[in-house]
């Protein structure tokens, strides 16, 4: 059931190619692989033959309709399941007193995940839990609009022992630098669809395993214990963003993250077009919003630190919430650099490897 639930996220449910609506099952000497694929992403989940949770009696492969397979295996819940190809292209499933026959499709017609193996590629290793939290922080900031396809991706840029990840939708920007233990000699430059990364983050184990990332010319493959995820890359050049990050600031404040998140969530409820206003005074940050004919709200949270001049800025509360929810640091720093400059949001740790920008909303 786990294996099926992992791969089903890549099934092309509405594809005009019938075989992509299926799950490819392959029983081999090592165990069984389940694979699903759409034009953008392939997910493969493996159950190892350990003589206990899985035994392979005979090798074979078939592609079967994903929805029926998923629904029926779910109904069997705790019971043991026997999968067998008795007649050509028919999978027999026996569990308890249930006997099922599912019509399958030719497994040789299914796209293989290992196609790109021979291509020259760059390999990186990274902690799975770090990759997972990084993806969550970045994928939410990527654009969801297809008007600028390159911005629907997360940019990976790598040189020596540093992996830089960037996502932006034009209003927000997220940047994170990860230290690599094994320096790479290749220069890497790839843009991965954010929605594929988001699916990946949901199925990555929470264990402190490492994940191998293998980038070739037109695809990227993530490999961890029992799981392979392959994604197409987005063609094009990711915008150069170094110039967008303000290099100096007029004011910096530090606030408790949970406290700020709660306040922003509160005032955003009453915000017309999600616009909230921040007012940084001597020792408090005031948050305000209103909707005409409905009402208004204000909320105050204490500042942990402030250096520089008082400021007032309006921004999109929903966008701010997205950033704060994925912040894994007890306090955050906000930097104000003037009315038209983006607000810089930094986790308040000593690493300084993560940075968010959020562009103010101009109000009358």
Q: Is 58 in the site for a copy of itself (CB under 8 A)?
A: no
Q: Is 106 in the site for a copy of itself (CB under 8 A)?
A: no
Q: Is 97 in the site for a copy of itself (CB under 8 A)?
A: yes
3-state secondary structure 21-66: HEEEEEECCCEEEEEEECCCEEEEEEEECCCCCCCCCCCEEEEEEH
Beta bridge partners of 65: 22
- Tell the smallest beta-carbon distance from residue 96 to a copy of itself (Å): 8
**Terminal C-alpha separation, the chain:** 55
Nearer to a copy of itself, 54 or 266 (CB): 266
CA distances from 71 to 77, 110, 137 (A): 10, 22, 33
Residue among 118, 282, 294, 362 that touches a copy of itself (CB under 8 A): 294
Q: Is 161 in the site for a copy of itself (CB under 8 A)?
A: no
Residue among 171, 180, 301, 303 that touches a copy of itself (CB under 8 A): 301
- Tell the smallest beta-carbon distance from residue 272 to a copy of itself (Å): 12
Nearer to a copy of itself, 220 or 285 (CB): 285
Q: What whole-number distance in Å separates Cα of residue 78 and Cα of residue 361?
A: 53
8 A C-beta contact, residue 296 and residue 288 = yes
Q: Is 103 in the site for a copy of itself (CB under 8 A)?
A: yes
Residue 93: both structure tokens together: 């499933």
8 A C-beta contact, residue 363 and residue 275 = yes
Q: Is 282 in the site for a copy of itself (CB under 8 A)?
A: no
- Tell the smallest beta-carbon distance from residue 162 to a copy of itself (Å): 39
- Tell the smallest beta-carbon distance from residue 103 to a copy of itself (Å): 5
**Greatest CA separation found in the chain?**
78
Q: Is 105 in the site for a copy of itself (CB under 8 A)?
A: no
**Cα–Cα nearest to 95, from 105, 82, 104:** 82
8 A C-beta contact, residue 257 and residue 327 = yes
Residue among 19, 31, 49, 76 that touches a copy of itself (CB under 8 A): 76
Helix axes 257-269 and 317-325, enclosed angle (nearest 10): 150
Residue among 293, 340, 350, 362 that touches a copy of itself (CB under 8 A): 293
> Judged by CB under 8 A, which stretch of 28-36, 94-102, 313-321, 329-337 contacts a copy of itself?
94-102
Q: Is 283 in the site for a copy of itself (CB under 8 A)?
A: no
Nearer to a copy of itself, 72 or 304 (CB): 72
Residue 204: both structure tokens together: 């990555």
* 338 phi/psi in degrees, rounded to 5: 120, 160
Nearer to a copy of itself, 76 or 198 (CB): 76
Q: Which residues bind a copy of itself (CB under 8 A)?
A: 65, 68, 71-72, 75-76, 90, 97-103, 262-263, 265-267, 269-270, 291, 293-301
């Amino acid at each position: 059931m786990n294996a099926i639930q992992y791969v089903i996220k890549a099934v092309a449910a509405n594809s005009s190619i019938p075989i992509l609506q299926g799950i490819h099952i392959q029983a081999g000497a090592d165990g069984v692989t389940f694979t699903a694929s759409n034009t953008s992403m392939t997910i493969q989940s493996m159950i190892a033959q350990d003589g206990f949770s899985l035994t392979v009696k005979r090798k074979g492969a078939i592609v079967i309709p994903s929805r029926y397979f998923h629904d029926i295996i779910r109904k069997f819940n705790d019971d043991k399941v026997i999968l067998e190809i008795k007649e050509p292209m028919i999978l027999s499933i026996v569990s308890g007193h249930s006997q099922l026959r599912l019509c399958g499709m030719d497994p040789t017609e299914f796209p293989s995940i290992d196609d790109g193996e021979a291509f020259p590629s760059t390999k990186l290793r990274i902690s799975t839990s770090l990759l997972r939290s990084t993806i969550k922080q970045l994928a939410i900031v990527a654009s969801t609009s297809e008007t600028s396809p390159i911005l629907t991706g997360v940019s990976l840029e790598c040189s020596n022992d540093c992996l830089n990840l960037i996502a932006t939708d034009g209003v927000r920007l997220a940047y994170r630098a990860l230290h690599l233990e094994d320096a790479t000699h290749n220069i890497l430059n790839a843009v991965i669809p954010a929605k594929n990364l988001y699916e990946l983050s949901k199925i990555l184990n929470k264990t402190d395993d490492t994940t191998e990332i293998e980038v070739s010319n037109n695809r990227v493959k993530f490999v961890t214990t029992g799981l392979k995820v392959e994604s197409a890359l987005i063609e094009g050049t990711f915008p150069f963003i170094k110039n967008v990050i303000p290099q100096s600031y007029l004011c910096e404040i530090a606030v408790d993250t949970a406290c700020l998140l709660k306040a922003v969530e509160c005032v955003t409820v009453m915000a017309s077009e999600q616009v909230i206003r921040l007012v940084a005074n001597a020792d408090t940050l005031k948050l305000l919003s209103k909707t005409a004919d409905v009402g208004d709200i204000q909320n105050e949270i204490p500042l942990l630190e402030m250096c520089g001049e008082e400021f007032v800025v309006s921004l999109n509360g929903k966008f701010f919430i997205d950033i704060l929810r994925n912040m894994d640091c007890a306090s955050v720093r906000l930097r104000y650099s003037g009315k038209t400059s983006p607000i810089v949001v930094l986790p308040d740790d000593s690493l300084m490897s993560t940075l968010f920008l959020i562009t103010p909303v101009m109000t009358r």
